[in-house]
A and B are shown apart, each in its own frame.
Chain A
Amino acid sequence: MTLTATRVATDTLLTGPVMLSPSGPADSVTASERESYDDHVLRFGPRPDVSAALLADVEHAGLLGHGGAFVPVAVKWRSALLRKGPLTVVANAAESEPLAGKDGTLIRQRPHLVLDGLMIAAQALGADRAIIWLHGDDYTARAVFEEAFQDRGWSGRDVPIEIIDGPVHYLAGEAQAITRATSGGPALPFPRRNVTDPRAPQTIVQNVETLARLAMLARGLPNTRTRLLTVLGAHRMVVEVAQSTTIEQVLIGLGWKVAPQAVLLGGYAGIWAKWDDIASLEVNEKKLRAAKLTLGAGVMVPLAEDACGVRVTADLVSYLASMSARQCGPCLFGLPALAEHWAALADEDGDRRTMDRLRADISAIEGRGACRHPDGATRLSTSALQTFSAHLGAHVSGMRCRHRTHVTLPGTSL
């Protein structure tokens, strides 16, 4: 027995905060503690045996998906239990939002909690296959899971879980893309259609944080008290905070001394919000949604007072356009059009008509892709038009942009 095994409480997911490299897989640059199988069992006890009756507990606890869309887990489970077709359960560890690092950090620190969650979901739903889906470049995550399998004494044909390396692409973590890939197709989004055959094969995709919380829920442990966040300041930090923590407190806790002008919530396909509007809001997703906001997969990017939000938005929209799966016309042509308008606005080449054309294109694209990727770009654009409205006024009226500091977010300079 080690001392660390009893020191950390059972109501947190992470063993501690970490500093990550600016983008890419969540490999920490500071020390990060990995929990062994023995320590895991010591802390949480053995994995409980479950049945479909667990659905009632999941529903009662109100467990939500933590990949960013916050779909109630009970909704996915109920539809899966109604059908008769062979079922695949996927633990989605491909966090594609370029800055998000909370899932990667979780699997590096508590791989066994995630494995428990996947086994519990598979058992409760009577699944035929259980898969861990990773980004192909996340070598550490694969090594962590393989080591965890060995820790559990799983080898050869006895391993109940497959690990699949997905492509390294922004949309490789999208649920329909994963569904398609695990049944032998390309890892590309696909439109949802009503399935009428009750015997058709089906796939349930759950984010790894959701599964870790499920592993706690199945043991009767509290599982909704905290929230995992990735915050990009001078460094990329992953922290776990109480749901009642305000956004201002999160930044103060990370050493921010000066208030930013705005914060990008949810990541590159997220939404801009003015600092004064959100500083006192709690990071609790339900409360954020009541205010028509969301932190998505838990990403926050504060924007310094002297940075130009229009320029950063132009970079972001151009990044999103480059990450299109290039399958649907409205996305393939629409996102570059949005990016072009934003570039013109950022370069002070645009006028009021540029903004009108931008608004027209936003409403033309919305809701017309096979996946939600184009909607991410339109939502970001709409929020930027509101948040930076005063500054946009300066950009289109011939006054020079007074923000001299050029901020480039990781991966967005093309």
Chain B
Amino acid sequence: MSALQRIRAARERLTGQKLRVDPLVCEGIGQCAMTASRLVQLDRWGYPIVPTEELGASDLGPAQRAVNSCPKRALWLEELD
């Protein structure tokens, strides 16, 4: 596998989506971090830190579950343009 092919393979696993949090709506309940602990960390005040980069294919499921778990509907998946 050439370097270019490896880059391409890595590219193909990206989803074109980003996990976002609305800091106005978020109340730091923490469900997202419990549901998707690998993806979402909490800061020392209990508010979620979500990845700023595009989601990989394996992260899409956990991200969707984190979105669904939020009682405040503060998280969403956003299409990158």
Residues on A close to B: CB < 8 A? Answer: 190-191, 194, 327-331, 333-334, 361, 364-365, 367-370
Most buried by B among A364, A365, A367: A364
Q: What's the least CB distance linking B40 to chain A, in Å?
A: 13
User: Is B71 in the interface zone, CB < 8 Å from A?
Assistant: no
Q: List 17 A-B contacts (CB under 8 A).
A: A190-B24, A191-B22, A329-B23, A329-B26, A329-B43, A329-B45, A331-B23, A333-B45, A334-B45, A364-B43, A364-B44, A365-B43, A367-B52, A368-B23, A368-B47, A368-B49, A370-B23
| A190 CA to B23 CA, complexed, in Å | 9
| A367 CA to B24 CA, complexed, in Å | 14
A194 touches B78 (CB 8 A): yes
B45 touches A370 (CB 8 A): no
A191 touches B24 (CB 8 A): yes
A364 touches B24 (CB 8 A): no
User: Is B46 in the interface zone, CB < 8 Å from A?
Assistant: yes
Contact of B45 among A190, A194, A330 (CB under 8 A): A330
Most buried by A among B22, B23, B28, B44: B23
Chain B positions within 8 Å of A361 at CB level: 44
- Nearest 6 pairs of A and B residues by beta carbon: A328-B23, A329-B47, A333-B45, A364-B43, A327-B24, A370-B23
User: Is B81 in the interface zone, CB < 8 Å from A?
Assistant: yes
Contact of B47 among A194, A327, A330, A370 (CB under 8 A): A330
| A365 CA to B28 CA, complexed, in Å | 14
Closest to A188 in B: B24
Contact of B23 among A191, A194, A364 (CB under 8 A): A191
Most buried by B among A190, A194, A329: A329
Q: How many A-B contacts if CB must be within 8 Å?
A: 42
Contact of A330 among B23, B52, B79 (CB under 8 A): B23
> Total interface residues on B, using CB and 8 Å?
16
Q: A330-B47, A333-B45 are in contact. Are A370 and B24 (CB under 8 A)?
A: yes
Secondary structure at the B interface, as helix, strand, loop or mixed, is loop
Q: What's the least CB distance linking A19 to chain B, in Å?
A: 41
Chain A positions within 8 Å of B43 at CB level: 329-330, 334, 364-365
| A57 CA to B11 CA, complexed, in Å | 40
Q: What's the least CB distance linking A375 to chain B, in Å?
A: 12
A327 touches B23 (CB 8 A): yes
B78 touches A370 (CB 8 A): no
Chain B positions within 8 Å of A369 at CB level: 23
Within B34-81, the residues touching A (CB, 8 Å) are 43-47, 49, 52, 78-79, 81
Chain A positions within 8 Å of B46 at CB level: 329
16 more contacts with CB within 8 A, not counting A328-B26, A370-B23, are A190-B24, A194-B81, A327-B23, A328-B23, A329-B43, A329-B46, A330-B23, A330-B43, A333-B47, A334-B43, A361-B44, A364-B44, A365-B43, A369-B23, A370-B22, A370-B24
Closest to A365 in B: B43
| A361 CA to B49 CA, complexed, in Å | 13
Chain A positions within 8 Å of B24 at CB level: 190-191, 327-328, 370
Chain B positions within 8 Å of A194 at CB level: 78-79, 81
Chain A positions within 8 Å of B26 at CB level: 328-329
A329 touches B28 (CB 8 A): yes
| A369 CA to B27 CA, complexed, in Å | 13
Chain A positions within 8 Å of B79 at CB level: 194
Q: What's the least CB distance linking B54 to chain A, in Å?
A: 15
Chain B positions within 8 Å of A368 at CB level: 23, 47, 49
Closest to A364 in B: B43
| A175 CA to B26 CA, complexed, in Å | 22
Closest to A374 in B: B23
